[in-house]
Structure 1
Amino acid sequence: MVAKMRNGGSACTAANRFYVHRSLLAEFIERLTAAMRAVRTGPGLQEGVQLGALVSVAERDKVAGLVADAVADGARITTGGHGSETGAFYEPTVVTDVAHGSALTTTEIFGPVAAIVSYDDVAEAVRMANDTVHGLIAYVYGEQALALAVAHRLESGMVAVNRAVLSDPAAPFGGVKQSGLGREGSSEGILEFLEEKYIGMDLPTVPA
């Protein structure tokens, strides 16, 4: 929930696609659906509200369009799936049976929508996770040794293993592929602001 709903899902580090092993799929959907359904949506200054509006009505419509396209391709909504008629609000939404490669899995959603794709083996999950032009951050949950092994195979600038918050001023922040070049933060981030100078010189010949 934290990884998905940080800033209402409107964050570059928010989780978009959830690849869930088929043996855990039913329980995962049930628990995530219940948690998303419990989130109270409304004006951000209203007491008790947990999820405010998206950045614009256009963004609301983009999110609604991604969900509608997924449903048209056979996906199923277990909670949410509606935007407000006025304002830029969109309900916390869980979409299951999502086809890998659909717009909902290839677009940065920037909204409170969790797209769930099932898999049968780890190699398949890694292949699908890497099948994207994006590569800023990934999240892996599971037995520690296996999760760490998967993290090394993911094409992502940052990987959180069994945790939902990864950003740290002491650690490099940045992605691969179309998710940016270079790094912010830590000593690696400082190097981005430095200019390297190369000086080449032949050493004097030492007499035999």
Structure 2
Amino acid sequence: MTYDADLKLFIDGSWRTGEGRDAFAVVNPATGCAIGEVPLASTADLDEALAAAERAYPLWRATAVDSRSAILRKTAELLRERAEPIAWLMTQEQGKPLAESRAEVAGSASMFDWYAEEIKRDYGRLLVRPTGQRSMVVHEPVGVVATFTPWNFPLYLLAKKVAAALAAGCPVISRPPQETPGCTGEMFRALADAGIPHGVAQLVHGNADLVSRALVGSKVIRKVSFTGSVPVGKHLMKLAADSMTRITLELGGHAPVLIFDDCDLDKTLDMVVPQKFRNAGQVCVSPTRFYVQDAIYDAFLEGFAERTSKVKMGDGLQADTRMGPLANARRPDAIEKLVNDAAAKGARVLAGGQRGEGGFFFQPTLLGDVPVTADIMNEEPFGPVAVTARFKDFDEAIEQANRLPFGLAAFAFTENGRRANLLGDAIEAGMVGINSFGISTADAPFGGVKDSGFGSEGGKEGLETYQVVKAIHQA
């Protein structure tokens, strides 16, 4: 299937072409070749989008919940009907294997379905008052929302924000990653075909600094939701402070994985290796720092290395590919630098460690005996590298897990139920998976602590981030 994306902006209910606008080259990371051009929004486009959202807000917030829900459900239905061509676009733009792209489209549809129903259960509460008096607490939409999302899960991360905001009654202006414009554009095409009113959902590709300053600095925008790096998140937080705009930040992580000697070793390895190399390790909650108890450390490394060597790397469109390329030309350079630094400081390269041929490939890599001084033990690699070190006891494992300023996700594997309870309490992270990697679902909150951000997406908590609370007292 050839790349045949219809790359446009979606502003005030109409699709805008690249005529008279700057453009950004879309590159297939498996080949390194340009496959298309996406038009970039101008200042005039952004002003028009803001004005359209401002006009749309009173009408959308007053739209009946059942009507909002029906549009979200129809969007989910259309995404499922169009899943195959959307998945092909995603793989060509982002590189992940086609099976992973299909799963991402399905997960995005489920997000729209879930919020279509959750908004119907958005109950306030009635306070106890004397006869003849009433006091109630109600939830109202916060206002127009600006969303910013990255390229690693271009559709799913966008759906998390857009579905919840629209369900709450908030118009949305989204700046998705310009590296993956085809698949994200299809979400807005589904929304348009589902009957979303003009100005309620808008898509503006463009220069990150230009778009963020125009949107976050506007009085029209009352809420910002960002997923991306820690430095950019802090920059947006400063911009939002000037206008007292609410903000949700889902930032970077460096997920520790604590492997205790009572785990089912083969079962654990069969779980952690595919999870480590999913999306070429370009996952904010990717298991990365593997701390393994002394008694099983050598056996764990042997099993990990054996399985890693069997991970088939290649073009995501090929049926036998299990790991695709990195997303852009910068990523192999960054990963190679981290691996070389670790090796120079005493780490052992047990599998991979080299660039691949062709596009932006880097081999699935396992590093053993990585010292705490290695850069990769302190900086999120965001790539297909697992780093390992030993630990002796529970306290040492927790100390290492909580050592960094990040706190997005953490994982642990043990068959001891009491230890599992203690791990859940002691680990400093917004999400903890014990004998499981299933931490990102539509009905559960997703978010971090410390430098990994604040606020949640998913679950009822994800809806609440797009609402304000009002108390009404009547005597």
TM-score by structure 2 length?
0.41
- Matches of 1:149 and 1:95, distance apart in 2: 28
Q: 1:56 deviation in Å?
A: 1.2
Whether 1:158 aligns to 2:431 is: yes
Does 1:115 pair with 2:387? yes
Does residue 19 in structure 1 map to residue 285 in structure 2?
no
Tell me, which stretches of 5 or more residues in structure 2 are unaligned?
Answer: 1-272
Instruction: Give the Cα separation in 1 of the matches to 2:329 and 2:303.
Output: 30
- Per-residue CA distance 1:132-183 (angstroms, 9 max, x = gap): 1111100010123212311210110000010122211111000001111100
For the 8 Å contact 1:100–1:128, the answer to whether it is kept is: no
Q: Deviations over 1:45-88 (max 9, x none)?
A: 22311111001121111011111100000000111000135421
Does the 8 Å CA contact 1:175/1:181 hold for their aligned counterparts? yes
Letter in 2 for 1:21: Q
More strand by share: 2
What SS class does the counterpart of residue 196 from structure 1 fall into?
strand
Native 8 Å contact 2:278 2:323 kept in 1 = no
* Structure 1 residues 90-101: aligned runs within 5 Å: 90-101=362-373
CA distance in 1, matches of 2:329, 2:371: 27
1:43 paired to 2:326: no
Match of 1:70 in 2: 342
Counterpart in 2 of 1:55?
327
CA contact (8 A) 1:148 1:161 kept: no
Aligned to 1:191, which of 444, 460, 464? Answer: 464
Partner residue of 1:134 out of 406, 415, 420: 406
Task: Give the SS at the match of 1:166.
Answer: coil
Q: TM-score, normalised by structure 1?
A: 0.91
The answer for the alignment partner of 1:33 in structure 2 is 305
Q: Aligned partner of 2:467: which letter?
A: L
The one-letter amino acid paired with 1:33 is: A
Return the letter of the residue paired with 2:446.
F
| 2:313 partner amino acid | T
- Aligned-partner Cα distance in 2 for 1:153–1:199: 40
Q: Distance in 2 between matches of 1:169 and 1:113?
A: 28
- Distance in 2, matches of 1:81 and 1:31, equals 17
Q: Which residue of 2 aligns with 1:206?
A: none
Which residue identity lines up with residue 158 of structure 1 in the other structure? M
Pair 1:10-2:282 in alignment: yes
Moved more, 180-189 or 83-92: 83-92
Following the alignment from structure 2 to structure 1, what is the Cα–Cα distance between the partners of residues 291 and 467?
A: 40
Please report how far the alpha carbon of residue 6 of structure 1 lies from its aligned counterpart in structure 2 after TM superposition: 2.1
Are 1:181 and 2:454 matched, yes or no? Answer: yes
Does the aligned pair in 2 maintain the 1:3–1:165 contact within 8 Å?
no
Identify the residue that residue 149 of structure 1 maps to in structure 2. Answer: 422
Alpha-carbon RMSD: 1.8
Q: Which has the higher helix share?
A: 2
- Unpaired segments ≥5 residues, structure 1: 204-208
Give yes or no for contact 1:2–1:164 (8 Å, CA) kept in 2: no
The answer to whether the 8 Å contact 1:157/1:176 transfers is yes
Give the letter aligned to residue 185 of structure 1.
G
Deviations 1:5-56 (A, max 9, x none): 2212111111110000011100100001011100011121223111110011
Q: Distance in 2 between matches of 1:133 and 1:101?
A: 15
CA deviation string 1:81-138 (max 9, x = no partner) = 0013542101111000101242111111111110001111110110011011111100
The worse-fitting range, judged by mean Cα deviation, of 23-32 and 77-86 is 77-86
Tell me how far apart the structure 1 counterparts of residues 286 and 373 of structure 2 sit (CA, whole Å). 19
- Number of equivalenced pairs: 202
Identical aligned residues as a percent? 37
How far apart, in 1, do the equivalents of 2:394 and 2:411 lie? 14
Is the CA contact (8 Å cut-off) linking 2:366 and 2:385 kept in structure 1? yes
**Cα distance in 2 between the residues matched to 1:2 and 1:155:** 25
